Structure 1
Amino acid sequence: MSLVSLNGLTVTYGGNTVLSGVSLKIQEGEIVTVVGPNGSGKSTLLRSVIGALKPSGGSVTRTPHLRIGYVPQKLHIDPTLPLTVRRFLSLPVRVSDTRASEALEQAGAGNLAARQMSGLSGGQFQRVLLARALLSNPQLLILDEATQGLDQPGSAAFYQQIEKVRQEIGCAVLMVSHELHVVMAASDRVVCLNGHICCEGAPEHVASAPEYRALFGTGTQGALALYRHEHNHSHDHDCGHDHGRQHEAAE
């Protein structure tokens, strides 16, 4: 069953079209990773799925009463504010100790309840944000570059936890990432976005080009990346690119 269906989604800001004609379905239990260069509309796509943005054209259909959990790219908390992890999970709506403990365990952060938020490492902080997103027992878990700033082992461990969460609660996962070297193994489908869907398919197809594998194998943060799409898989979208054309992506 489709949890979310985008049909010809178009989003325009101040006369600039950010997304054009995007059609995409998110099915129950699948992990979908969205990749693309800066300014390609990845965050706009997520905000449209959540319902925070109204489409300029096309439609977004969600299954009735869809429960969505969201893990942001960043969340700033005043480091001088005395705030434990347990108290953070009850803002703004109080949750029971039992539910908070369950969510922390699911996120791989079961020993952090009494810790101060300001004293957490980057990886621990993201797991607490994941726990917060899991409080509602989501049918769809959305992550917007949730591992930005983590080192490669930290990112890999976080995505392994996401796969474990999917197995345990059966939720679908929609995530934006530039780290294909760690998300490939966990993704059922990869969607390449550049204002429109230029390519989508199984990870092994998207990763088929040697240049692509070489790029995401090194993953130097901030480097200008050249990667190649080998359009040897079927999809319903017109890429608008020649086969094997290189695209530049700044991480």
Structure 2
Amino acid sequence: MRDIAPPLIAVRNLGVRIGTLDVLRNVDLEIHPGEIVTIVGPNGSGKSTLVRAIVGAVRPHTGTITRSPALRIGYVPQKLHIDPTLPITVARFLCLPTRRTADQIAGALNTVGLPDLHKRQMSALSGGQMQRVLLARALLEAPDLLLLDEPTQGLDQRGSAAFYHQIEDVRARLGCAVLMVSHELHVVMSASDRVICLNGHVCCHGTPEVVATAPEYRALFGTGTQGALALYRHTHDHAHDDDHPQPGHHHEDHAI
């Protein structure tokens, strides 16, 4: 049913040139309502440039990016540096630049699993808490599409797994689509509906199982992630007795 709806984002023959360097060339992709799509690729492959082009921060050299009418985008950056001497609470931060009601702030913090943090100083947050606050801020925009550019950089494996599980919960509760860039291949394979492997162009794409076995993917990353995927699937399938398990729920200690 998802593929029947028009795409939220349609990228056609996209090329981005920075100086004399063609960072991206001939990139085609679509993001449909409600799906989680992850972009993977080696350093310098153009992953962040693609995200910046989608949000309009980078101008394409060739091709087009078509957004659905009135598309609302929420953006979660890699990290945010805040002066530790700056006295600003979580609630105050969430009101920048648009003032929010107490109910809106409480709702966003509850959605990301931080219901009691509104009075906490931003400088006192852990890395994982900071990323969830940034996620809450993005959710205040009521996004149709949530963009995340390597949002767990600097978190340990358990913290990364917990954050991406939170993303799955957000998608389930709000119905928004998610496009994320990640270097954590084991998390990608457990949390995504589709994976796009990028190396200046789209090398391969499809379900995690399809991409993990693609020759182009293995040429870049080897075969280790396929083992992580198999181990995740085995753990996941045996850890739940209900008919609708939550993806990613038992994999943080087993990923390779």
Fold conserved between structures, TM > 0.5: yes
Deviation at 1:214, TM superposition (A): 6.8
Q: Which residue of 2 aligns with 1:3?
A: 8
Deviation at 1:186, TM superposition (A): 1.4
| 1:144 pairs with 2:156 | no
| 1:23 pairs with 2:35 | no
Q: Which residue of 2 aligns with 1:98?
A: 103
Contact 1:99/1:135 (8 A) holds in 2? yes
| 1:198 pairs with 2:203 | yes
State the one-letter code of the partner of 1:47. R
Provide Cα deviations, 1:193-237, integer angstroms capped at 9, x if missing partner. 0000011110012234672327868xxxxxxxxxxxxxxxxxxxx
* Mapping 1:36-115, distance limit 5 Å: 36-115=41-120
Give SS of 1:2's match: coil
Distance in 1, matches of 2:49 and 2:204, equals: 18
List structure 1 runs of 4+ shifted beyond 3 angstroms: 214-217
Contact 1:11/1:55 (8 A) holds in 2? yes
| Percent of residue pairs bearing the same amino acid type | 63
Distance in 2, matches of 1:28 and 1:169, equals: 11
Q: Which of 206, 209, 213 in structure 1 is aligned with 2:225?
A: 213
Contact 1:156/1:183 (8 A) holds in 2? no
Length-normalised TM-score, structure 1: 0.84
Q: Which residue of 2 aligns with 1:33?
A: 38
Distance in 1, matches of 2:223 and 2:59, equals: 37
Deviation at 1:108, TM superposition (A): 1.3
Give SS of 2:99's match: coil
Deviation at 1:112, TM superposition (A): 0.9
Contact 2:11/2:28 (8 A) holds in 1? yes
Contact 2:25/2:200 (8 A) holds in 1? yes
Provide Cα deviations, 1:135-186, integer angstroms capped at 9, x if missing partner. 0110000000000010111000000000000011100000000112123221
Q: Which of 173, 177, 185 in structure 2 is aligned with 1:172?
A: 177
Give SS of 2:8's match: strand
State the one-letter code of the partner of 2:187. V
Across the two proteins, how many residue pairs are aligned to each other? Answer: 217
Distance in 2, matches of 1:193 and 1:74, equals: 22
| Unmatched runs of 5 consecutive residues or more in structure 2 | 1-5, 230-256
Provide Cα deviations, 1:28-57, integer angstroms capped at 9, x if missing partner. 000000000111000010011111111110
Distance in 2, matches of 1:108 and 1:140, equals: 20
Deviation at 1:4, TM superposition (A): 0.3
Supply the RMSD in Å over aligned alpha carbons.
Answer: 1.4
Distance in 1, matches of 2:190 and 2:226, equals: 16
Distance in 2, matches of 1:75 and 1:215, equals: 34
Distance in 2, matches of 1:44 and 1:182, equals: 21
